[in-house]
Amino acid sequence: MKPLWIALHLPLLQLEVFRPNWRINPDGTEVVLEQNRISCASSSALAGGAQHAMKKASVQMLLPEVILYTRQPILEQRCLEQVAMALLQYTPQVTYTTHNCLLMEVGASLRLFGGIRRLCHLIRHSMRVMGISISLSCAPTAMGAWLLARSEMIGSFHLQKTHRLKRILKLEKLRQRLNQLPVALLPEAQERLEWLRGIACNTLGALQALPRAGLKRRCGVQILDLMDRAYGKQTELFECINVPPQFQSRTELPGRIEHAEMILAFIHSLLMQLMGWLAAKQLAVSQIDLYLEHERGRQAIAPTHLNIKLAEPAWREDHLLRLLKERLAITQLHAPVIAVKLAASQVQIRQVMNATLFPEPKAYAEDHHRLLELLIARLGDDQVLQALPQEDHRPEVANTWISVVHAQKKNATKLHLLSTETPNQAARPVWLFEKAQPLAIRHHRPYYDAPLKLLSGAERIEAGWWNGQLVTRDYFIAENPSHIRYWIYRERLGEQAEDGASWFVHGLFG
């Protein structure tokens, strides 16, 4: 299989670590300063006259409404790591490179994601969710893709066309495209840039035409090595990123947010990283912990903890996002949120997808579990219940109701009793009264709004002697003149109710 590389250049990373691109005001004027000089600026600032390396005082005089940030390399490195984690859902071979770029080897991923166009679309979607502007390119060599991704940045520090996609799948076509790129793209050529321009060597094609021995003597071997790797004449070796054994990611909010729904976009960014981690580990998550952090310091407030338990382990973005959204919708915040943290507290090995021609019943079971998880997220753990049969002959204690989440941990054989019926088992009503109701006796027949006719012989139940709650009953199926059938019983051994009744109705057949 031939290698195929995708390069992602993050040109506005210095600015977007403070404001994701979906949070930047289109009319806002923002710049990032490094040593009191502009190193990155928004499109509004550029339109207002801001220039690269302009001093702080000059930009403040030119743009009085400008918002200034001080460059934070630590935040930039952390953001690169988060982006790389999110990209792991498309390929395990993700590596860092210079100039705020990431490289992905996707030759083995094309069939899984439906081709290069579909894969690039999914990558752009992930970056939009994380609030990161990218320049994306695809090429048979890693350095070739890296040069193409950075080709729009020559002479400017601002990305002009974030939507432009450069896909080159054949090596010969890549070499033709590289020949047209400016030589200023090469970091190793910066010191000799004036000399190269002086001999009319402005493109990589012109640089390729120079004698290698003389070029090596004047510019060093590094520039030749980079050119050979970009043109596919030398083997490329990279070290892939390491995946942590556990997932936990945190992000600071740009301000104090008082409504839980407003922080969903930041949580979605953390969820995208979780998707990459699960894909790299081939795991599915069964429990998620979300922490909404509040004030720190002297007025510290404990974070709001949301624990989300899944009825079935999952790893799909849309499903997990829906659960988080439903849970946030019913969350009441007692203080503004300044940061959010997401952790996968319980995971397990991901089950292999069904590859048979015809669907199996398990596929429908997954839809059932997703519905239960959605109901739990909306109503709470204690509001969605499941029947749990008990090993007891007494109808009123033969079943209990417990939370669906807790039911997953119970013995599977007990749950199986609910749908298991032996040939000799007597019929049971669909509806069982919460408490048996006494019946009147008229003309030696039980009476319940009308005379009842017995249709079956007695089913005798004697149980409860081991805990002092002895029950001795004979159950019958009875029918009234309207053909409505009831489940009634007669007390034995002289036991009667306080009013002297010895016949009771306990259930109703559907």
pLDDT tens digits for 275-292? Answer: 999 999 999 999 999 999
Lowest mean pLDDT among 223-232, 300-309, 397-406: 397-406
CATH of the domain at 188: 3.30.70
pLDDT recorded at residue 164:
46
Residues 470 and 405 in one domain: no
Residues 83 and 170 in one domain: yes
Which stretches within 247-351 are classed as H helix?
Answer: 264-281, 317-329
d(CA 293, CA 163): 35
Residue 189 confidence (pLDDT) above 50: yes
Residue 61 confidence (pLDDT) above 80: yes
Chosen domain end from 393, 419, 445: 419
Residues 169 and 255 in one domain: no
Higher pLDDT, 338 or 362: 338
Classify each residue of 36-75 as buried b or exposed e, where b means 16 or more C-beta atoms within 10 Å of its C-beta.
Answer: eebbbbbbbbbebebeeebeeeebeeebeebeebebeeee
Residues 324 and 395 in one domain: no
Residues 176 and 263 in one domain: no
Chosen domain end from 419, 440, 467: 419
- pTM above 0.75? no
Lowest mean pLDDT among 48-57, 62-71, 176-185, 251-260: 251-260
Residue 354 confidence (pLDDT) above 70: no
> Which residues, 6 or more positions from 32, have their beta carbon under 8 angstroms from its beta carbon?
14, 15, 18, 38, 39, 40, 41, 69, 70, 71
pLDDT recorded at residue 422:
40
Mean pLDDT on 286-302: 89
Total tally of structural domains belonging to the chain = 4
Residues 164 and 221 in one domain: yes
Residues 406 and 446 in one domain: no
Residues 404 and 482 in one domain: no
pLDDT recorded at residue 390:
79
Residues 344 and 406 in one domain: no
Classify each residue of 124-148 as buried b or exposed e, where b means 16 or more C-beta atoms within 10 Å of its C-beta.
Answer: bebbebbbbbbbbbbbbbbbbbbbb
For residue 212, how many other CB atoms are within 10 A of its CB? 12
Residues 10 and 146 in one domain: yes
Chosen domain end from 188, 204, 230: 230
Residues 222 and 76 in one domain: yes
Which residue range forms the structural domain that includes residue 325? 248-351
Residue 462 confidence (pLDDT) above 90: no
Residues 154 and 221 in one domain: yes
